[in-house]
Amino acid sequence: MDLSPDKQNIDGVFSNTAYYIDFYQRDYRWTEEPVLRLLDDILHKFKEQYDRSKDFSPGKETVTRYLSAAA
């Protein structure tokens, strides 16, 4: 697996792709509570993974081995 990060801005990510929202979801609006719950879940999972791997060296071999083991 070849990992090669690339800096991108939001405009670059979304300018080359068309996204469509199905008609049944167009009226749906998130309120503050589900947004905060989603962000809390994401941050919790990130911290869980970070705590498991914070002692690894950031070398390419370590990252490749870690990703292969997680798959």
- Residue labelled with tokens 């199905």: 22
Q: What is the CA radius of gyration of the chain?
A: 18
User: How crowded is the C-beta side of 14, counted as CA atoms within 13 Å?
Assistant: 5
pLDDT at 39: 94
pLDDT tops 70 at residue 1: no
Q: How far apart, in Å, are the Cα atoms of 14 and each of 3, 20, 22?
A: 21, 12, 18
Query: CB within 8 A of 46, min separation 6: which ones?
Result: none
Section 50-63 average pLDDT: 76
pLDDT tops 70 at residue 71: no
CA distance 32 to 68: 37
At residue 33 the predicted structure's pLDDT band, cuts being 50, 70 and 90, is very high
- Where do the domains of the chain lie? 18-70
pTM: 0.44
pLDDT tops 90 at residue 43: yes
At residue 70 the predicted structure's pLDDT band, cuts being 50, 70 and 90, is low
